[in-house]
Amino acid sequence: MSTATTGDSSSSFSVAQIPCLDDNYGYLIHDETTGDTAAIDTPSADAYKSELKKRGWKLTHILNTHHHWDHTGGNIELKADGVQVYGPSEPNGKIPGIDETVGDGATLTFGGRTANVIDVGGHTMGHIAYHFPEEKTVFVGDSLFALGCGRMFEGTPAQFWTSLKKLRNLPDDTTVYCAHEYTAANAKFAKSVEPGNAELMSRIDEIVAKRSRGEPTVPSMMGVEKSTNPFLRIDISEEIRRNVGATANDSDVDVFAKVRRAKDTFRG
């Protein structure tokens, strides 16, 4: 199963979304003018090879967001002559086959267009996102999910909150491609902390309907995330702050930590 979208009707930029493993999404991006094709993370080499063959695309780049195995597991198998692997700076060679490290503020040229690299550490220390401003598209890995964010395995609350604010600063019409189909579970938690959010309730109805039809809930729009994702609203919604037990003395970082901890232990 895959879907393809373009940034606009005149664009030569295509995105193929590929369900992989249990709940991962992998992505291939393709520039029709140059023929360049990049894998955004590599959860499954076989799934990527099948999609490349079906579309007649040749892989030229691998863009890793972070080092976890379900994002880098296909790197070595997919890395052939001419395929360059880019990713965050990680200790002990955690990104298999990496050729070039890129960090916050760096730019990467793909198919005659520019991707801006954003440090979104928190899920892991070196996590990065790839933002294509002309295409109004961002690939966020496990930093931000539809109605959620990644577990904080390596980073700190202050680091993660800073990262999420960077993503929140992107324009509302940015298409957000995250790496997992976690939206239905995230919706239950979001409802528990902000039941008074009418936009959230409407979105949950849409999510339930999509999943009942076996449809993906990813990608989403940044503007929708801003108005419904609790992890982007901890400094906006008094309801969220109240429901996680925040006090008047809590900083935004403190509240983020409480929301993240509440999600970690949520069993709804």
- Active-site annotation, residues: 66, 68, 70-71, 123, 142, 180
180 DSSP assignment = B
What b-and-e string marks burial along 9-37, b requiring 16 or more CB atoms within 10 Å of the CB?
eebebbbbbbbbeeebbbbbbbbeeeebb
CB atoms under 10 Å from CB of 161, counted, come to 25
Phi, psi of 80 (to 5 degrees): -120, -175
Q: Is 55 exposed, middle or buried (0-12, 13-18, 19+ CB in 10 A)?
A: middle
Nearest to 226 by CA among 185, 175, 265, 172: 172
**Spatial contact of 125 and 169, defined as CB atoms under 8 Å apart:** no
State the Cα–Cα distance between residues 29 and 199, nearest whole angstrom.
31
